[in-house]
């Protein structure tokens, strides 16, 4: 169905056309007509299916730009998704002169307060920061007509259920509610029952996205082998645009530094970076100035990045749904893609659980040898030379070239050029990646939200409003391992330490043991 066939205002159709959209996606085709009639809708579809326009266009259609008041509210799980949604809604509502404002943690709240005073028509934000504004009375929801819950399952996993309910309580009962979620756990269904009026349930089947479009492979390797194997794969496969997923913030930082040291254009994003830095990295990646983006799960959640050809799971994810989200970064818009997952021998059970979820067995990928990687490097160097030859502009160098040819053979000069452009395996910078504790044995952590989500309903620190989402999504052991992080250093006191723990925390247990032995001797 074309957008022109939907009952949308001319201003919106103009914006849609400018954005380059013609055909509505299945979720848009099913949702927009229902939402335009004012019905509550529950939309179930995977990330990357066009959900923003599915709820955005009906909401924008309903808004009266002449009214200088808040009319639409969108709640999103992460600041990246909030910013992305805000940008998309602004683009779609530009011709209708709709003002959209994003509020999220990790940004200057004073600036957000000033922007809210301008009375935007739509506010997009993370639950924690929204609550901050509500409590400060800088965000008043009495005039909201359309409420949207985006990525509701992810907000549930991150422990935002109570926050969401508190926010919804501030919104008028006479409203339209649109809820979008990739999965439909009982808690999400309860939200539908509790806060929605006879909602229409729209479910879009994922046309076996993971099976049909994405070639999935795994490499069995020990933790210390993974980095060298990955760089060899990068040399052999020569991906155009790549995302590498790491389990922790420390891992992401080390991988990004290591890749950069070996000559790849790579940068990392995670919850500890400033918002400005994260956005600049994403802009560089989207524009093609970066070849490799290294990210944690949460930092990459909901990001709309087109053109990704390869996804490397440096660490196997802690829950199978994260795997689906990860590989969903590629294989978009009908294009193919490739995912490679590194698995340590004792993590094979996690691999099998993922295969059961995706209903597709991963193929074993043999790690390339140094010779094969070097051959790939030579091939890439020759392609670079061909591109530069096509660009021409060599006239001013010809005199110098003639002088060199008098001293050296053309073959030696060509070999030197290749050596300069290609990376010789023997010259590679040694990179050490700090080992991480392997995932716990067994499949227990894959049930009920996964091992990395077991503390997701913990209310501690929930008011950060989008700041450091990785911390919310990681287990305690992950936080303890991140010694580069100040918070990690604090929590490490008295907790698991790879080197055996510090002396101070070890006194208590040893004292207990000593008193226990004494009592036994007395008996």
For residue 346, the model assigns a pLDDT of 86
Distance CA 305, CA 283 (A): 10
The pLDDT assigned to 427 comes to 61
Instruction: Render each residue's pLDDT in the chain as its tens digit; 523 residues.
Output: 788 888 899 999 999 888 777 788 888 999 999 999 999 999 988 766 788 899 999 999 999 999 999 999 999 998 888 998 999 999 999 999 999 999 998 888 999 999 999 999 999 999 999 999 999 999 999 999 999 999 888 888 888 989 999 999 999 999 999 999 888 888 888 888 889 999 999 988 654 444 457 889 999 999 999 999 999 899 888 888 899 999 889 999 999 999 999 889 999 998 788 878 888 888 888 888 898 999 988 777 666 677 788 999 999 987 777 788 788 777 665 567 899 999 998 888 888 888 887 778 899 998 887 777 777 778 777 877 887 787 777 888 888 888 888 888 888 888 888 777 776 665 677 888 888 877 776 444 444 333 333 333 333 333 333 444 443 443 333 433 343 343 333 333 333 333 444 444 444 444 433 333 444 444 3
Q: Which helix (H) or strand (E) holds 62?
A: helix 51-62
Q: Can you tell me the distance from the alpha carbon of 332 to that of 288, in angstroms, rounded to the nearest whole number? A: 17
User: DSSP E strands: which ranges in 155-227?
Assistant: 176-181, 200-203, 214-220
CA distance 53 to 34: 14
**What is the model's pLDDT at position 164?**
93
b/e per residue 416-432 (b: at least 16 CB within 10 A): eeeeebbbebeeeeebe
Closest CA to 218 of 350, 107, 329, 45: 350
CATH 3.40.50.300 region(s) of the chain?
3-203
List alpha helices for 63-172, DSSP H: 79-93, 109-116, 127-135, 152-157, 161-170
Instruction: Identify whether the C-beta of residue 327 lies closer than 8 Å to the C-beta of residue 339.
Output: yes
- The number of residues making up the chain comes to 523
Domain 3-203, CATH number (from 3.40.50.300, 1.20.20.10, 3.60.15.10, 1.20.1630.10): 3.40.50.300
Which pLDDT score, from 0 to 100, does residue 67 have? Answer: 92
In this prediction, residue 157 carries a pLDDT of 81
- pLDDT at position 253 is 94
Q: How far apart are CA 395 and CA 5, in angstroms?
A: 57
**Alpha-carbon span 127 to 155, nearest angstrom:** 9
pTM here is 0.57
Q: What is the pLDDT of residue 373?
A: 72
């Amino acid at each position: 169905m074309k957008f022109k066939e939907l009952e949308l205002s001319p201003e919106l159709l103009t914006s849609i056309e400018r954005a380059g959209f013609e055909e509505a996606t299945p979720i848009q085709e099913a949702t927009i007509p229902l939402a335009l009639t004012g019905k509550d809708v529950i939309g179930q579809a995977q990330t990357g299916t066009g959900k923003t326009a599915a709820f955005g266009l009906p909401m924008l259609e309903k808004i009266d730009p002449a009214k200088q008041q808040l009319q639409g509210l969108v709640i999103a799980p992460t600041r990246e998704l909030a910013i992305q949604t805000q940008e998309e809604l602004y683009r779609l509502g530009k011709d209708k002169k709709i003002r959209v404002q994003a509020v999220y943690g990790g940004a200057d709240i004073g600036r957000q307060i000033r922007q809210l005073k301008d009375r935007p028509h739509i506010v997009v934000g993370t639950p924690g920061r929204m609550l901050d504004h509500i409590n400060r009375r800088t965000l008043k929801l009495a005039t909201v007509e359309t409420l949207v819950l985006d990525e509701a399952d992810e907000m549930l996993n991150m422990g935002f259920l109570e926050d969401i309910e508190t926010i919804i309580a501030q919104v008028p009962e006479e409203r339209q509610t649109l809820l979008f979620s990739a999965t439909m756990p009982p808690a999400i269904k309860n939200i539908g029952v509790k806060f929605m009026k006879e909602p229409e349930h729209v479910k879009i089947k994922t046309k076996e996205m993971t099976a049909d479009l994405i070639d999935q492979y795994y490499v069995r390797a020990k933790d210390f082998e993974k980095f060298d194997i990955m760089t060899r794969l990068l040399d052999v496969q020569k991906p155009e645009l790549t995302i590498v997923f790491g389990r922790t913030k420390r891992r992401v930082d080390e991988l990004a530094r290591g890749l950069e040291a070996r000559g790849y254009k790579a940068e990392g994003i995670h919850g500890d970076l400033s918002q400005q830095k994260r956005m600049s990295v994403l802009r560089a990646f989207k524009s093609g100035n970066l070849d490799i983006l290294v990210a944690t799960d949460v930092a990459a959640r909901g990001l709309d990045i087109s053109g990704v050809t390869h996804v490397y799971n440096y660490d196997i994810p802690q829950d199978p749904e994260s795997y689906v989200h990860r590989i969903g970064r590629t294989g978009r818009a009908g294009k193919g893609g490739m995912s490679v997952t590194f698995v340590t021998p004792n993590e094979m059970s996690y691999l099998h659980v993922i295969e059961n979820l995706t209903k597709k067995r991963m193929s074993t990928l043999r790690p390339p040898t140094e010779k094969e990687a070097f051959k790939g490097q030579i091939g890439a160097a020759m392609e670079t030379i061909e591109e530069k030859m096509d660009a021409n502009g060599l006239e001013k160098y010809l005199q110098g070239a003639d002088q060199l040819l008098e001293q050296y053979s053309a073959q030696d000069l060509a070999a030197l050029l290749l050596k300069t452009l290609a990376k010789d395996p023997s010259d590679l910078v040694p990179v050490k990646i700090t080992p991480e504790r392997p995932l716990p044995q067994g499949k227990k952590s894959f049930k009920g939200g996964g091992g990395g989500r077991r503390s997701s309903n913990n209310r501690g620190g929930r008011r950060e409003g989008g700041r450091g989402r990785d911390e919310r999504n990681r287990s305690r052991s992950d936080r303890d391992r991140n010694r580069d992080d100040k918070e990690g250093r604090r929590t490490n006191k008295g907790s698991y330490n790879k080197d055996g723990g510090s002396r101070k925390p070890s006194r208590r247990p040893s004292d207990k043991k000593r008193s226990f032995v004494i009592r036994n001797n007395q008996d």
